[in-house]
C-alpha cells in the first residue's frame, strides 16, 4: 500500500508518518512543498493520499485526480457511506483522504483511523505547547513585576509576591493581570528602560 502524506506542516506530517510506520506501513512519502505537487504525485502514483483538510492545494489535487491518466482515479473520502461517523471524525481531526477506488475498505479504514488519531494527537500537542509558552510568558511578566516592587519599595521577593497576590485577590483579577498592569503603569510613568 503506497501512501502519500500532503501537509504544509512538516512537523504534523512527521507525526502521521511515524504512526503509519509503527503500524507496519512502510511505503510512505511526505510532500510538503506546494510547488510541483501534482507532478510529484503523478510520478508517485499512490493508493492513498492523506491531506490536511485546510490545505490550499486540495482543489488542484481534485482536478489532477479527475483528469490524470497516470493515477488510478482516486476518489474523495472513501469510507463506506454507512460509516458516516468515521468521516465526521476525520473532518473533526482535520484530515481528508483520497483513495484509489476499489481498494479494500477494511484496510483503508485502519489507515484513516490511524491518521485521525495522529492528527488529533498533533493538535493536542500543539495546544499543550501553546499553553506551555503562555505559562512561560506569564512567569516572565510576574518576575519583572516582582523585581520592580523589590526595587521601588525595597522589599524582598516573598514580600513582593505577597503584595501582588493581595492586590489580585482584592481586585478579583489574575495575578498576572496585576503584574501586567504594574509594568504598564511603570512604563507610562517613566522610570523604565
Partner 1 sequence: MSERAFRIGFLPLVDAALPIVAHEMGLAEAAGVRIELIKDMSWATVRDRLLYGHTDAAHLLAPLAIASTLGLGRPPVPIVVPFVLGLNGNAVTLRREVAAEIAADPADPAHTGQALARLIADRKAKGLPLIRMAVVHRYSSHNYMLRYWLAASGIDPERDVEMVVVPPPFTADALKAGEIDGACVGEPWNSAAVDSGAAMIVTATSMIWRRGVEKVLAVRSEVADERADRLAALMRALYSAGTLLMDQSRRDAITAILARPEYLDAPAERIRRALDGRLMLAADSNPVPIPDFLLMHREAANFPWQSQALWLYSQMVRWGDAPYQPEAEVVVRKVFRPDLYRRALGGTGAALPGASAKMEGALRSPAGVGTTQGRLILSPDHFFDGRAFDPDDLANYLRMLRSNEKS
Q: Given the complex with partner 1, which of 105 and 152 has the nearer CB atom?
A: 105
CB 158 to partner 1: min, Å:
45
| Cα atoms in the Cβ-side hemisphere of radius 13 Å centred on 67 | 7
Exposure class string for 53-64: b at 16+ Cβ within 10 A, else e? eebebbeebeeb
Q: Given the complex with partner 1, which of 16 and 90 has the nearer CB atom?
A: 90
Among 1, 14, 60, 121, the residue binding partner 1 under the rule CB under 8 A is: 60
Kindly state whether residue 76 participates in binding partner 1, applying the rule CB under 8 A.
yes
Quick one: which segment of 21-29, 47-55, 107-115, 167-175 binds partner 1 (CB under 8 A)?
Answer: 47-55
Q: Given the complex with partner 1, which of 92 and 128 has the nearer CB atom?
A: 92
Rounded to an integer, what distance in angstroms lies between the CA atom of residue 7 and that of residue 111? 16
Q: Which of residues 79-138 bind partner 1 (CB under 8 A)?
A: 81, 84, 87-88, 90-92, 96
Kindly state whether residue 54 participates in binding partner 1, applying the rule CB under 8 A.
yes
Radius of gyration (C-alpha) of the chain in whole angstroms? 26
Among 58, 109, 117, 173, the residue binding partner 1 under the rule CB under 8 A is: 58
How many residues bind to partner 1 according to rule CB under 8 A?
24
Distance separating the N- and C-terminal Cα atoms of the chain? 61
Rounded to an integer, what distance in angstroms lies between the CA atom of residue 190 and that of residue 193? 8
Q: 3-class SS at 35?
A: coil
Quick one: which segment of 48-56, 108-116, 138-146, 181-189 binds partner 1 (CB under 8 A)?
Answer: 48-56
State the Cα torsion 98-99-105-109 to the nearest 10°: -50
Amino acid at each position: 500500500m503506497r501512501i502519500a502524506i500532503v501537509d504544509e506542516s512538516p512537523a504534523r506530517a512527521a507525526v502521521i508518518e511515524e504512526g503509519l510506520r509503527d503500524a507496519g506501513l512502510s511505503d510512505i512519502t511526505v510532500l510538503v512543498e506546494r510547488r510541483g505537487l501534482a507532478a510529484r504525485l503523478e510520478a508517485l502514483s499512490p493508493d492513498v493520499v492523506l491531506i490536511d483538510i485546510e490545505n490550499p492545494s486540495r482543489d488542484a489535487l481534485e482536478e489532477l485526480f479527475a483528469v490524470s491518466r497516470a493515477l488510478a482515479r482516486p476518489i474523495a473520502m472513501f469510507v463506506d457511506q454507512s460509516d458516516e461517523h468515521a468521516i465526521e471524525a476525520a473532518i473533526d481531526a482535520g484530515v481528508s483522504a483520497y483513495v484509489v477506488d476499489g481498494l479494500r475498505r477494511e484496510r483503508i479504514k485502519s489507515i484513516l483511523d490511524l491518521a485521525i488519531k495522529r492528527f488529533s494527537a498533533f493538535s493536542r500537542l500543539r495546544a499543550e505547547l501553546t499553553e506551555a509558552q503562555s505559562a512561560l510568558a506569564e512567569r516572565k511578566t510576574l518576575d519583572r513585576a516582582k523585581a520592580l516592587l523589590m526595587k521601588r519599595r525595597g522589599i524582598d521577593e516573598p514580600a513582593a509576591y505577597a503584595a501582588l497576590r493581595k492586590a489580585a485577590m482584592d481586585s478579583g483579577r489574575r495575578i498576572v493581570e496585576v503584574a501586567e498592569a504594574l509594568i504598564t503603569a511603570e512604563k507610562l510613568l517613566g522610570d523604565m528602560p
